[in-house]
């Protein structure tokens, strides 16, 4: 019997889970996939938004600005890469320059600090590769970039280190309440019992809400396609470049990532059925927009393209509330952009205000919020590396040559919380396979390490869970 | 451990091995080879098919047999080898930082460095192929490693994009090991692979080759379930209405090789945008004195026999550099003119002496054409060709006497005969 | 009289060969750049043969490169593959070691690389 059951291992569920472990509560996380961070937290822009975009007095505006302020300390504690690179909303006409002024005003109302409207010359000084057509920009200095899966995995791993339990491959099929006890049943028939349920199920949050009688939470899917460039082109831009929002939407962004790749996208396409397929037209749209925003885009250095889903609610604001029909259930639904930025602030609010409203919160004195930040072996000094190799020679064996990731780091990813059980999970934790060869060289070796560590035959190692085996069998 | 060598060779594949042996035999005895894999031989270890060595040894060897001759050559000499050692960085002043389990992160200095890191495959990701990203999408070389080294089948039902030699070889290899290869598609109007590989890898097994076709969609959630291929127009854009669907569990990409020049770039050694390898003199010395480059890290070769030949050149001159000191270069540029994709070497230096073999590729398929090497208005060399294709490297020998006639930039051009 | 077109596979040049046939027998070969091409063409139109290369799984699981030490009938390749797949060996082996004598057509299966 858990005090709190969190459904959904994305950044919202993950940061809430971690927040809960700060108190004397027994907590668990239910995730339908083979690993955490498999939905919208996996494939998104990784932007820490300043907070000028959301309409004042919305939950989006409130949590965005709070989350932005929390992010530097939050990521430092968890050893997650965060860069305060600043955002630029770029204007291409006089009309758009006027929109920038409105955005700035809106940002000020939302409580965003350090914004400035800059002219063409200043913009070119900041971003030499900006299009000749760009006239000026809103420079939001509090904007930043974070590794979205790094943040999600670290929050969940830290929660687990502090006692939270993780159930993967647990797709919630039904929620029953008997007296004060919830029984959450998986589609395969396993059950978990708890006193409170927090619904952070992303795209499925509407479905989960319906299981407890809340049929008014409608969640729809939107797709965003991206193109990722080699770190070699990492200096192409340094800020996050946005188009000025128009009635037609926000357009794509051009940004450095926290790992110094260049990320281009996303498109924004409504979907009946959630899909993360890329399309020729979507990628062509991204390229067209990149060419409008910048000059000399090093598209020849493309290393991959991908798509992510966004779950948005019909209310077009975050839904963060107690169930109206079933006491003891809290919904976090429709957490679309700026959800990543907002997550730490949402987590604090949900736990302190909503959970705290239902149960008495008592501090967990043994909570340790730090997570060792040695995930980035290659960034250490040679002396530090040698100290580690002396204790564990496997750190002296490079497995992923493009990102210079060692066997020791891969073993660690398989062993530490939340454990990586497949090749993609290792990739998200270590970057092995995320470089320019896209795993062409290292995948067989990574898979061998996973097989060895998990004690399973090689044929059972998967790319990303059941049904995605790397090989179909032995050759003879 | 020792941290100073006369010559450090980065890479123990065919290029590094041939270079090390040649350097040793030409008087440099203090040589270290750094190899990242467990054993020497490089990619040849997984190229178990035959056909290697026809030029060099006048017999048809398997890749591992070809490699073994050079591995044995290194082992027979007093050449030091570190395997499972990855070079992390190289500086202009020839300091190499590497890592292994035994010594941790360490630095060695060298009088001369030979770059022999080879190349990597272009991945699916570089092509923006639409669709899903399931298991079962591999570059041909990765599939080759699974089948030939690891003994696993990456799939049973296969479509291949790209008719480069590795793609063709893998079409046959997967077929022999029991898989069904439905098609090889090639976006160009011609195959970039050797003609004999079309014959013995595809035709022998009735595997269709679709020229002017590309994969326009990959399907499958967890594992590949199918692909759509489409014909392309002359601008390489898919033609609507030409789509063909194949059920399959595996897609292999054989869409080009890229020299692995991360270390070269780190050392600020000038690269050619044409070859994506270093700019070199005919002795395979880069524009940084005492740093040599050879094999697929310099230019992607079709045949390992040429890799060995080129690498021996680098080895000989690296030894000369160590024993006799640096050459004061007095070089002229060698440039690719009309219809020529690239030329190696990109610099000719009369001080080096000897005949020079120019390696080059043409930009398209040409029939009945003339290839001319000229310096200003002076024609140094002219050859008529019945057919040339981009997939096959061409060579021309420029004699020392011809080189003596040059007084400026040398250009290689191809003209179609009318 | 008929003409069969072939691509020579003897070397990387891949000459386009034309073989004139009479009563099922080759009477002339055109297009070959060397004597090996002529021989190849004459054999190819009568009984095509190939060297088969593959791997054998050694008892410790390591894959050993193998090949037939001479060309075998193309029509028998899949039969030979079945035999190869049933073959195993103890390590160490060295290049040239015979793993299966007379696997087909007087050809032996030999080790073709260091495992």
Question: Is the per-residue pLDDT at C105 higher than 90?
Answer: no
Closest CA of chain C from A476, distance in Å: 6
Determine whether the interchain pair A474/B152 forms a contact, defined as Cβ–Cβ distance below 8 Å. Answer: yes
Cβ burial of A84 (10 Å; 0-12, 13-18, 19+) is middle
Same fold, B1-120+257-327 and B123-255: yes
- Search chain B and give the residue with CA nearest A379: B88
CB atoms within 10 A of CB C112: 28
| C53 close contact with A: CB closer than 8 A | no
Same fold, A85-144+220-311 and A377-460: no
Give the model's pLDDT for residue A373. Answer: 64
- Going by pLDDT thresholds of 50, 70 and 90, the confidence category of residue C103 is very high
Q: Could you give the angle at the alpha carbon of B32 between the alpha carbons of B31 and B34, nearest 5°?
A: 150
> Strand (E) positions, B91-223?
95-100, 104-115, 119-121, 137-139, 152-153, 157-161, 180-186, 209-211, 213-219
Determine whether the interchain pair A276/B128 forms a contact, defined as Cβ–Cβ distance below 8 Å. Answer: no
Taking the C-alpha atoms of residue A465 and residue B358, their distance in angstroms, rounded to an integer, is 51
CATH superfamily of A2-41+149-219+315-358: FAD/NAD(P)-binding domain (3.50.50.60)
Q: Please tell me which chains touch C, using 3 or more CB pairs under 8 Å as the contact test.
A: A, B
Question: Is the per-residue pLDDT at A247 higher than 70?
Answer: yes
Choose the CATH number for B330-418 among 2.60.40, 1.10.730, 3.30.70, 2.60.120. Answer: 2.60.40
Determine whether the interchain pair C113/B63 forms a contact, defined as Cβ–Cβ distance below 8 Å. Answer: yes
Region of A249 (left: φ > 0; alpha: ψ -120 to 50; beta: rest) is left
CATH class of the structural domain A85-144+220-311? alpha beta
Taking the C-alpha atoms of residue B129 and residue A159, their distance in angstroms, rounded to an integer, is 38
Mean pLDDT (chain A, rounded):
96
Taking the C-alpha atoms of residue A104 and residue B117, their distance in angstroms, rounded to an integer, is 52
DSSP assignment, residue A139?
Answer: E
Taking the C-alpha atoms of residue A417 and residue A394, their distance in angstroms, rounded to an integer, is 20
Which among A276, A282, A473 has CB closest to B153? Answer: A473
Domains, in order of start, for chain C = 2-46 (2.20.25), 53-111 (3.10.530.10)
Q: What is the dihedral of CA B71, B76, B78, B79, to 10 degrees?
A: -10
* β-bridge pairing A253-256 and A47-48: unpaired
Give the model's pLDDT for residue A251. Answer: 82
Q: Please tell me which chains touch B, using 3 or more CB pairs under 8 Å as the contact test.
A: A, C
Tens of pLDDT, residue by residue over B348-389, are 999 998 999 999 999 998 999 999 999 999 999 999 999 898
Closest CA of chain C from B205, distance in Å: 10
Which among C12, C65, C112 has CB closest to B196? Answer: C12
Chain B residues close to A439, C-beta within 8 Å: 142
Structure tokens at B243: 């789509």
Closest CA of chain A from B250, distance in Å: 10
Which CATH architecture best describes the domain A377-460?
Orthogonal Bundle (1.10)
What DSSP string describes A157-186? Answer: HHHHHTT-EEE-S--EEEEEEETTEEEEEE
Q: Please tell me which chains touch A, using 3 or more CB pairs under 8 Å as the contact test.
A: B, C
Task: Number of A to C CB contacts under 8 A, please give it.
Answer: 9
Which among B39, B62, B198 has CB closest to C112? Answer: B62
Which among B60, B147, B195 has CB closest to C7? Answer: B195
3-state SS, residue A194? strand
- Going by pLDDT thresholds of 50, 70 and 90, the confidence category of residue C25 is very high
* Domain chopping of chain A, boundaries: 2-41+149-219+315-358, 85-144+220-311, 377-460
Which among A227, A404, A438 has CB closest to B128? Answer: A227
Which among B125, B152, B223 has CB closest to A467? Answer: B223
Closest CA of chain B from A437, distance in Å: 6
Which among C7, C54, C95 has CB closest to B196? Answer: C7
Residue B99, Cα to own-chain centre: how many angstroms? Answer: 25
Closest CA of chain C from A459, distance in Å: 14
Determine whether the interchain pair B249/A472 forms a contact, defined as Cβ–Cβ distance below 8 Å. Answer: yes
3-state SS, residue A70? helix
Determine whether the interchain pair A467/B249 forms a contact, defined as Cβ–Cβ distance below 8 Å. Answer: no
DSSP assignment, residue A246?
Answer: B
Q: pLDDT over 70 for what percent of chain A?
A: 99
Chain B residues close to A458, C-beta within 8 Å: 150, 152
**Of A236-250, A251-265, A343-357, which range is least confident?**
A236-250
Give the model's pLDDT for residue B330. Answer: 86
- Going by pLDDT thresholds of 50, 70 and 90, the confidence category of residue A372 is confident
Determine whether the interchain pair A467/B222 forms a contact, defined as Cβ–Cβ distance below 8 Å. Answer: yes
Chain C residues close to B41, C-beta within 8 Å: 114
| B64 close contact with C: CB closer than 8 A | yes
- The angle that helices A339-349 and A11-20 make with each other, rounded to 10 degrees, is 30
Taking the C-alpha atoms of residue B222 and residue B227, their distance in angstroms, rounded to an integer, is 14
Chain A residues close to C55, C-beta within 8 Å: 475-476
Chain B interface, best mutation among C17, C69, C112, C115, by max B CB count within 10 A: C112
Chain B residues close to C64, C-beta within 8 Å: none
* Domain chopping of chain B, boundaries: 1-120+257-327, 123-255, 330-418
Residue A274 · residue A221 · CB < 8 Å: yes
3-state SS, residue A217? coil
Structure tokens at A232: 């070699």
Give the model's pLDDT for residue A150. Answer: 96
Determine whether the interchain pair C63/B150 forms a contact, defined as Cβ–Cβ distance below 8 Å. Answer: yes
Taking the C-alpha atoms of residue B111 and residue B92, their distance in angstroms, rounded to an integer, is 11
Chain B interface, best mutation among C5, C9, C68, C86, by max B CB count within 10 A: C9
Place of tokens 């075998």: C72
| B99 close contact with C: CB closer than 8 A | no
Give the model's pLDDT for residue A375. Answer: 63
Residue B217 · residue B130 · CB < 8 Å: yes
Low-confidence residues of chain B, pLDDT below 70? Answer: none
Chain C residues close to A476, C-beta within 8 Å: 55-57, 84-85
Choose the CATH number for B123-255 among 2.60.40.10, 3.30.1130.10, 1.10.3720.10, 3.50.50.60. Answer: 3.50.50.60
Number of H helices, E strands in chain C: 2, 9
ipTM of the complex: 0.96
Determine whether the interchain pair B105/A386 forms a contact, defined as Cβ–Cβ distance below 8 Å. Answer: yes
Chain A residues close to C85, C-beta within 8 Å: 476
Tens of pLDDT, residue by residue over C38-89, are 999 999 999 999 999 999 999 999 999 999 999 999 999 999 999 999 999 9
- Search chain B and give the residue with CA nearest A304: B125
Closest CA of chain A from C85, distance in Å: 6
Cis peptide before C92 (omega within 30 of 0): yes
Residue A94, Cα to own-chain centre: how many angstroms? Answer: 35
Residue A72 · residue A342 · CB < 8 Å: no
Closest CA of chain A from B154, distance in Å: 4
Question: Is the per-residue pLDDT at A374 higher than 60?
Answer: no
Q: Length of chain A in residues, anyone?
A: 476
- Search chain B and give the residue with CA nearest C51: B50
Q: Length of chain C in residues, anyone?
A: 115
Q: What is the mean pLDDT of residues A361-385?
A: 90
Residue B25's alpha-carbon distances to A189, B29, B73, B291, B310, in angstroms, are 72, 8, 11, 19, 16
Cβ burial of A195 (10 Å; 0-12, 13-18, 19+) is middle
In CATH terms, is domain B1-120+257-327 a member of 3.50.50.60?
yes
Provide the annotated active-site residues of A: 49
């Amino acid at each position: 019997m858990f005090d709190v059951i969190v459904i959904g291992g994305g950044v919202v569920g993950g940061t809430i889970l971690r927040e809960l472990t700060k108190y004397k509560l027994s907590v668990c996380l239910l995730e339908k996939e083979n690993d955490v961070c498999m939905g919208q937290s996996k494939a998104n822009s990784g932007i820490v938004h300043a907070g000028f975009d959301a309409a004042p007095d919305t939950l989006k505006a409130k949590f965005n600005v709070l989350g932005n302020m929390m992010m530097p300390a939050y990521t430092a504690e968890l050893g997650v890469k965060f860069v305060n690179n600043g955002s630029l909303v770029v204007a291409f006409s006089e009309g758009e320059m006027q929109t920038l002024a409105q955005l700035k005003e809106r940002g000020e109302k939302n409580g965003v600090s350090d914004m400035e409207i800059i002219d063409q010359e200043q913009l070119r000084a900041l971003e030499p590769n900006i299009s000749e057509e760009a006239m000026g920009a809103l420079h939001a200095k509090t904007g930043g970039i974070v590794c979205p899966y790094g943040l999600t995995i670290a929050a969940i791993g830290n929660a687990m280190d502090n006692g939270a339990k993780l159930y993967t491959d647990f797709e919630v099929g039904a929620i029953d309440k008997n007296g004060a006890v919830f029984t959450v049943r998986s589609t395969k028939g396993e059950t978990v019992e708890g006193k409170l349920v927090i619904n952070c199920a992303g795209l499925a949050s509407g479905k989960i809400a319906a299981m407890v009688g809340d049929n008014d939470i409608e969640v729809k899917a939107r797709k965003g396609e991206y193109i990722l460039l080699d770190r070699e082109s990492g200096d192409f831009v340094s800020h996050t470049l946005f188009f000025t929002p128009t009635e037609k939407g926000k357009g794509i962004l051009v940004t450095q990532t926290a790992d110094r790749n260049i990320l281009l996208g996303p498109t924004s396409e409504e979907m009946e059925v959630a899909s993360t397929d890329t399309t020729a037209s979507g990628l062509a749209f991204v390229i067209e927009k990149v060419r409008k925003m910048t000059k000399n885009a090093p598209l020849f250095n493309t290393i991959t393209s991908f798509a992510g889903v966004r779950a948005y609610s019909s209310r077009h604001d975050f839904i963060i509330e107690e169930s109206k029909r079933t006491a003891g259930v809290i919904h976090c639904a429709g957490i679309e952009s700026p959800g990543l930025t907002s997550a730490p602030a949402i987590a604090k609010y949900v736990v302190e205000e909503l959970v705290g409203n239902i149960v008495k919160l008592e501090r967990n004195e043994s909570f340790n919020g730090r997570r060792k930040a040695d995930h980035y072996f290659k960034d250490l000094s040679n002396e530090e590396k040698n100290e580690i190799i002396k204790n564990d020679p496997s750190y002296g064996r490079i497995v992923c040559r493009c990102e210079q990731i060692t066997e020791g780091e891969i073993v660690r990813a398989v062993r530490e919380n939340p454990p990586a059980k497949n090749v993609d999970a290792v990739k998200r934790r270590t970057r092995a396979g995320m470089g320019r060869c896209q795993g062409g060289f290292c995948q067989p070796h990574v898979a061998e390490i996973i097989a060895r560590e998990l004690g399973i035959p090689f044929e059972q190692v998967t790319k990303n869970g059941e049904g995605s085996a790397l090989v179909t069998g032995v050759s003879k | 451990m020792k941290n100073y060598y006369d010559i450090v060779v980065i890479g123990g594949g065919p290029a590094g091995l041939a270079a090390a042996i040649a350097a040793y035999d030409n008087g440099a005895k203090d040589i270290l080879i750094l190899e990242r894999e467990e054993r020497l031989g490089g990619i040849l270890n997984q190229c178990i098919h035959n056909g290697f060595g026809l030029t060099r040894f006048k017999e048809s060897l398997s890749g591992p047999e070809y490699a073994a001759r050079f591995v044995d050559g290194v082992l027979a000499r007093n050449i030091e080898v570190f395997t499972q050692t990855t070079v992390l960085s190289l500086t202009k002043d020839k300091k190499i930082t590497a890592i292994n389990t035994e010594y941790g992160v360490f630095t060695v200095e060298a009088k001369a460095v030979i770059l022999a890191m080879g190349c990597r495959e272009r991945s699916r990701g570089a092509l923006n192929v639409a669709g899903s990203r399931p298991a079962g999408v591999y570059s041909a070389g990765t599939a080759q490693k699974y089948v030939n080294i690891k003994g696993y089948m990456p799939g049973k039902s296969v479509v291949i994009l790209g008719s480069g030699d590795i793609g063709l070889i893998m079409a046959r290899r997967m077929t022999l090991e029991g898989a069904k290869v439905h098609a090889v598609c090639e976006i160009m109007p011609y195959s970039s692979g050797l003609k004999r590989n079309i014959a013995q890898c595809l035709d022998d097994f009735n595997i269709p080759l679709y020229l002017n076709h590309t994969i326009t969609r990959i399907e499958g959630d967890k594992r590949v379930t199918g692909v759509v291929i489409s014909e392309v127009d002359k601008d390489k854009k898919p033609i609507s209405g030409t789509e063909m669907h194949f059920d399959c569990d595996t897609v292999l990409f054989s869409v080009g090789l890229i020299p692995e020049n991360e270390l070269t770039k780190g050392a600020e050694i000038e690269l050619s945008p044409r070859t994506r390898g270093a700019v070199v003199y005919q002795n395979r010395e880069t524009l940084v004195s005492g740093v040599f480059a050879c094999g697929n890290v310099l230019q992607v070769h079709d045949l390992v026999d040429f890799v060995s030949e080129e690498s021996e050149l680098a080895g000989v001159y690296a030894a000369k550099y160590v024993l006799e000191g640096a050459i004061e270069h007095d070089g002229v540029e060698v440039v690719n003119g009309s219809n020529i994709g690239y030329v190696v070497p990109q610099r000719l230096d009369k001080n080096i002496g000897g005949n020079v073999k120019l390696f080059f590729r043409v930009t398209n398929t040409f029939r009945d054409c003339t290839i001319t090497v000229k310096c200003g208005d002076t024609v140094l060399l002219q050859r008529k060709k019945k057919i040339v294709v981009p997939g096959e490297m061409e060579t021309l020998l420029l004699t020392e006497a011809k080189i003596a006639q040059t007084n400026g930039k040398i250009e290689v051009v191809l003209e179609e005969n009318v | 009289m008929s003409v069969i077109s072939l691509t020579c596979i003897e070397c990387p040049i891949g000459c386009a060969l034309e073989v004139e046939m009479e009563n099922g027998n080759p009477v002339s070969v055109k297009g070959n750049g060397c004597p090996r091409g002529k021989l190849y063409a004459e054999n190819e139109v009568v009984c095509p043969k190939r060297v088969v290369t593959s791997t054998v799984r050694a008892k410790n699981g390591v894959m050993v490169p193998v090949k037939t030490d001479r060309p075998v009938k193309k029509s028998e390749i899949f039969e030979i593959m079945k035999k190869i797949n049933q073959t195993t060996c103890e390590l160490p082996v060295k290049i040239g070691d015979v793993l299966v004598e007379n696997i087909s057509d007087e050809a032996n299966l030999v080790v073709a690389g260091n495992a």
